[in-house]
Structure 1
Amino acid sequence: MSYQTLLFDVVGDIATLTLNRPATLNALTGAMQQEMLAVLARVRDEPTIRALIVTGAGRAFCSGASLEAMIPAPGDPATPGEVAGRLMREVANPLVLALHSLPLPVICAMNGTAAGGGIGIALACDIVLAAHSATFALTFTPKLGLIPDLGVSWHLPRAIGWARALALTLTGKRITAAEAVKWGLIWGCVDDEALAGEARDLALRLARLPSHAITEVRDIYILSETATLIEQLEHEAIHQSSLLDRDSFREGVKAFFDRREPVFKARQFVSHPDDLL
């Protein structure tokens, strides 16, 4: 299947989704977001795919939402706010949830600048690995008088704390990949020319995990955001009791005593991709 705004390929059990509107710094149109949703449904339903890399073509990762997407079509009586609200509820928000809920590890190989909603796409991935030249720019408030969206308002304060999140949002200060690592916003940064190889090596490593591992780890950390220590300990007991009875644990124990690396089963086919929404 071919796409107008994306590139998509699968090599072995690693899939790569590339935002492919380099002339606009990969600005997010409604059409691009619809194509991304289609690709993520395809990835979700293909059990041979065990990790996904999300990256951008050209010198930017993603410059955020295309302002043209907010302009009502000729004859459409809706206001720009109504157009944007509809696009967010029908496409952008489901896209963030789809990325955040894929039953396999998702790596953002951030090849260049992420601005506005582009930061939301990056942070919806499980691990962000950035090129040294990459930067983050929260342009919503100082440039447009808007609030962060595409999940940025949820991810950012959890990653770097209230004080830094608020200051970055109000000032629009651009931070480097190295600063983002230091602040705990992303996992790491590497030399620009090494990004693609490092991202693939990481994807290959994560693809060897038990098929359910990523969803279990996401779930337990999300629960910890609102649980007391007593509640979280009980959550751990419930989840761990279930996991200890799974084939993956039995394979891990056997591999330990056999002095070899464990070999975990591939994912099972998912028949209803809309379940994640």
Structure 2
Amino acid sequence: MTYQNIQFSIDQGVARITLSRPDKLNSFTEAMHLELRDALAQVQQGTEARVLVITGAGRGFCAGQDLGDRGMQIGSGKAPDLGATVEKFYKPLILSLQNLRVPTLAAVNGIAAGAGASLALACDLVVATESSYFLQAFSKVGLIPDTGGTWLLPARIGMARAMGLALLAEKLPAQKAADWGLIWSCVPDAGFQDEITRLAESLAQAPTRALVRTRQAMQAAPSHTLEQQLSMEAGMMRELGWCHDYAEGVTAFLEKRPAQFTGE
């Protein structure tokens, strides 16, 4: 597929997706969704990538849904089926990220609003510039936070703060988002790219399977009893103990050298 709305590359184990509609603050369209789907499938089906970085071109990460896109407009005499849009595009997007075979890093470089905020929060790690902010703008147009927002927000910061963001539709500065525990870190704009590169390279050299199993275990925890979670941990530890990276990690520790993980 030829990409016109995103940029996609894989280099030295780091897959990068850059949302690339800077004149529209990288807002979602059907065409962008299809390109994202294709790029994520390449990461999932291939073996080269060890981490995925998602960011935005220009002065924003993603402003959410482009309300001027086909199927979203009002006035045609027929109300749009927004549920169909969620089912067809946003649900598969978030589930693809949550089930990806490599860890994911959102590099938020400006506004992350609506579905754009949820896209970032669906990643394993979120790092934002000091000038960035998050915005749940749905109530301004008579909607609810979608793209997993009603699940991601309470899970990250609790019901009181999640409700406040959703009902009031107020901007949440990146530093405050970090203080609340919504994102991993907020860094100065000037050092942002260096920090993203450092984190991406670190994740690309890490034991990939163990990182993904960590994500899966933490996702399952809220719906498990402690006993169920302990059983899940036992199963995952059994699997990982049979993998190359565990043997390499222990050997490297005993030999006092950096481990050379393969991701398996």
TM-score range, shorter chain: over 0.9
* Aligned counterpart for 1:201 among listed residues 198, 202, 205: 198
1:70 Cα offset (Å): 5.9
Distance of 1:72 and 1:53 partners within structure 2: 28
Q: Is 2:26 the partner of 1:17? A: no
CA deviation string 1:93-132 (max 9, x = no partner): 1011111211111111100011111011101111000000
Aligned ranges 1:1-277 → 2 under 5 Å: 2-69=2-69, 71=71, 79-80=79-80, 82=81, 84-141=82-139, 143-266=140-263
Q: Higher relative CO (CA 8 A, sep ≥ 6), structure 1 or 2?
A: 1
Contact preservation (8 Å) 1:103, 1:214: no
Distance of 1:217 and 1:77 partners within structure 2: 49
**More displaced 10-residue stretch of structure 1: 191-200 or 105-114:** 191-200
Q: Structure 1: which 5+ residue stretches go unaligned?
A: 268-277
**More displaced 10-residue stretch of structure 1: 9-18 or 119-128:** 9-18
What's the secondary structure of 1:4's corresponding residue? coil
CA deviation string 1:178-233 (max 9, x = no partner): 00000000000111122122111101101112231232001111221111222222
Aligned residue pair count:
263
Quote the RMSD (CA, aligned, Å).
1.8
What's the secondary structure of 2:28's corresponding residue? coil
Distance of aligned partners of 1:20 and 1:51 in 2 relative to their CA distance in 1, 3 Å threshold: same
Q: What code does the residue aligned with 2:6 have? A: L
**More displaced 10-residue stretch of structure 1: 152-161 or 89-98:** 89-98
Q: Paired residue for 1:274?
A: none
Q: What code does the residue aligned with 1:121 have? A: L
TM-score computed with the length of structure 1 as normaliser = 0.90
TM-score computed with the length of structure 2 as normaliser = 0.94
Distance of 1:71 and 1:42 partners within structure 2: 27
What's the secondary structure of 1:95's corresponding residue? helix
1:43 Cα offset (Å): 1.6
User: Percent identity between the aligned chains?
Assistant: 39
What's the secondary structure of 1:96's corresponding residue? helix
Q: Structure 2: which 5+ residue stretches go unaligned?
A: none
1:85 Cα offset (Å): 2.1
Distance of 2:138 and 2:54 partners within structure 1: 23
CA deviation string 1:5-59 (max 9, x = no partner): 1112222221211111111111111111111111111122221111111000111
